[in-house]
């Protein structure tokens, strides 16, 4: 059976052993969720400062004041955290590096006679059985 289409091995390694080279861009981008969570926590802290550290009206309970300011301060903190993540993301685009990567062929196992072997991950076995403890010193068993 002959075909003009290259095999997967020929596509990866078109010239019999010469790996395919690709140019990539590498950069460190921030994760947005931690920034949003941190901003929300800073907002909760700001609401606590507003409610408990600043002088207030005696007719309002401090817990009620904290509850009132908690929502807008947390929302403002989340927005500021998102803005900080966006600014850092833009800065990481400017500091991006270019690189060249090569596809590495799978290695042949010497005992396989030239066959490519992919070994499966070990299956988790049962937990080791515990021995009864006689209450003596730690690490000693009877």
Q: What is the pLDDT of residues 62-115, one digit of tens each?
A: 888 899 999 999 999 999 999 999 999 998 888 888 888 887 766 655 555 555
Nearest-angstrom CA–CA distance, 105 and 118: 12
Element (H, E) at 63: helix 62-94
Contacts of 40 (CB under 8 A, 6+ apart): 74, 77, 78, 81
- Is the pTM higher than 0.75? no
Q: Taking 60 as the threshold, does the pLDDT of residue 136 lie above it? A: no
Over the chain, what is the mean pLDDT? 76
Backbone angles phi, psi at 74, to 5 degrees: -65, -40
β-bridge partners, 24: 99
pLDDT at 97: 85
């Amino acid at each position: 059976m002959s075909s003009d289409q290259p095999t997967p091995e020929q596509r990866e390694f078109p010239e019999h052993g010469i790996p395919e080279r690709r140019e990539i861009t590498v950069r460190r981008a921030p994760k947005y969720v931690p920034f949003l969570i941190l901003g929300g926590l800073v907002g909760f802290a700001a609401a606590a400062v507003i409610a408990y550290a600043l002088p207030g009206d005696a007719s309002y309970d401090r817990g009620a004041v904290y509850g009132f300011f908690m929502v807008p301060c947390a929302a403002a903190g989340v927005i500021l955290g998102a803005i900080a993540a966006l600014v850092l993301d833009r800065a990481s685009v400017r500091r991006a590096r270019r690189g060249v990567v090569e596809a590495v062929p799978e290695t042949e196992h010497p005992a396989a006679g030239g066959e490519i072997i992919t070994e499966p991950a070990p299956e988790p076995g049962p937990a080791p059985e515990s021995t009864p403890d006689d209450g003596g010193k730690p690490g000693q068993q009877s």
